[in-house]
Amino acid sequence: MPEPTRDEIAGLVRPGRVHRRVYADPAIFETEMERIFGRAWVYVGHESEVRAPGDFVRTRIGRRPMVMVRHEDGNIRVIHNQCAHRGAMVVAKDRGSAKQFECCYHGWTYATDGRLIHVPLRHGYPAHFDPDDPGTAMVAAPRVDSYRGFVFASLFADGPSLADFLGYMTTSFDDMVDRSPDDEIEVAGGVFKHAYDGNWKLYLENLCDAAHPIFVHRSSIDAARAQDDSVHTTGAGEIAVRQMRQNGAPHEFWREQVGIWTYPGGHAFLGDYHDDEKLVAASGDPAFAEYLAALEAQKGAEETRRIMEVTRWNSNVWPNLSFMSQFRQLRVVHPIAVDRTEVHTYAFRLKGAPAKMFEDTVAFANVTNGTGSPVLTDDLETYGRIGSGVTSAGAEWIEVGRGYETDRPDGKGGVEGVDSTSEVYIRNMYDAWLGYMAGP
């Protein structure tokens, strides 16, 4: 498959439009794996998943299978999940704890930093074989760094620091962690995994799309509106009904009251489109009142007020992460092929908060991210329809120009949509995409 030239790639993005090849061409996908996922900081997991030395979770950087593991020196390593002998995947469990990793095929054994430490039947290997050669290791990502517990890795030894890469988006991570009375959050519960037959870029493109809910989620909006309030007054049922009803807010609301902000590097966040009466039940919910009291006891009334006034919905950290503080959800995008994508969804517990807060997190996860979710399934259907639509010639240029003429600087180094349904965050992702794909 010939690699597309930089000029050819640059020609696929025009002001407010992109060519359908960016979603459909396997050669573009291969180049993305190399130039974007081979260079950017990519989210690989949360520190709470690997608390003790030897704790590990499987993850990916682009298509490359990786293991995030806490080494015996206390540092987190991210190593290629591939045996240096004949290439077998070494770690087959999704998570666990191990003193060392032994390959299932011929028993080569690696330390938790990837070094080869034991080779059975050593006498049979030729003279040039040197187990101390770094080339016989499970190769470690050259750079691993974290921000407030969120761990990123880069396969590129040079390039901007994680702090520079995240820029203003650090405030979204702050928003997530600040909500914990103990200033600490942890991954809890299981992992939802889903897949769709479409390009990886479609996923983040949808999570800040304020123009789609009223169309895509019509069936669940109608069902929730028809639902009698008296049936579901508390807990998961209440959250589900309120969330689905709010997806049907009128067009003027989506245009004028939500807000969309974008930052260099392809990152963005959408404003919260619920208020306490509609979803969080803050004022009337005794568990939420208990939570606020715990937060105030630790952080004081003024800081608690400041934290509660941050109202963001999904924050996208391009290229592979989207998370949301209000219900502590986090989604990781794994590109599999040009027309196949997996998404893994995690829930977080706020340390020091009443147990009911995490019950609401799980309830919300079931409504919006579960495999039986009446909301998520609509989105998956849409990605699949785009996936099949973009493969055929015809409409060559895809329109991503909504809001193009009214977007404006936000005064913090970013650009905001005056109209909340602006596709500015998609154009912003393509600015970053071009930088990696067609830049030096």
The separation between the first and the last C-alpha atoms of the chain, rounded to the nearest angstrom, is 22
Tell the smallest beta-carbon distance from residue 82 to ligand FES (Å).
9
**Does 88 engage in binding with ligand FES (CB under 6 A)?**
yes
Listed ranges 45-53, 79-87, 191-199, 345-353: which one lies at the site for ligand FES (CB under 6 A): 79-87
Binding site partner of 83, from ligand FES, Fe ion, none, Cβ cut-off 5-8 A by kind = ligand FES
Binding site partner of 379, from ligand FES, Fe ion, none, Cβ cut-off 5-8 A by kind = Fe ion
Tell the smallest beta-carbon distance from residue 205 to Fe ion (Å).
11
**Cα of 99 vs its chain's centroid, Å:** 29
Q: How far apart are CA 58 and CA 141, in angstroms?
A: 14
- The two tokens of residue 26 are 């396997």
Cis omega (within 30 of 0) for bond into 319 = yes
How many residues of this chain interact with ligand FES, rule: CB under 6 A? Answer: 9
**Does 106 engage in binding with ligand FES (CB under 6 A)?**
yes
Q: How many CA atoms lie within 13 A of 369 on its CB side?
A: 26
SS3 content of the chain, % helix, strand, coil (to 5): 35, 25, 40
**Does 105 engage in binding with ligand FES (CB under 6 A)?**
yes
Q: Is-contact 105 86, C-beta < 8 A? A: yes
Q: How is 13-39 classified by DSSP, letter by letter?
A: EETTEEETHHHH-HHHHHHHHHHTTTT
Is the CB of 108 or the CB of 291 nearer to ligand FES? 108
**Does 91 engage in binding with ligand FES (CB under 6 A)?**
no
Q: How many CA atoms lie within 13 A of 232 on its CB side?
A: 15
Of the candidate residues 238, 339, 360, 379, the single one contacting Fe ion (CB under 5 A)? 379
Tell the smallest beta-carbon distance from residue 104 to Fe ion (Å).
40
Q: How is 370-398 classified by DSSP, letter by letter?
A: STT-TTHHHHHHHHHHHHHHTTSSS--EE
Q: Is-contact 295 304, C-beta < 8 A? A: yes
What is the total residue count of the chain? 440
Is the CB of 110 or the CB of 348 nearer to ligand FES? 110
Tell the smallest beta-carbon distance from residue 423 to Fe ion (Å).
15
**Does 407 engage in binding with Fe ion (CB under 5 A)?**
no
**Does 103 engage in binding with ligand FES (CB under 6 A)?**
yes
Binding site partner of 106, from Fe ion, ligand FES, none, Cβ cut-off 5-8 A by kind = ligand FES
Binding site partner of 103, from ligand FES, Fe ion, none, Cβ cut-off 5-8 A by kind = ligand FES
Is the CB of 27 or the CB of 88 nearer to ligand FES? 88
Listed ranges 103-111, 197-205, 212-220, 347-355: which one lies at the site for ligand FES (CB under 6 A): 103-111
Binding site for Fe ion (CB under 5 A): 379
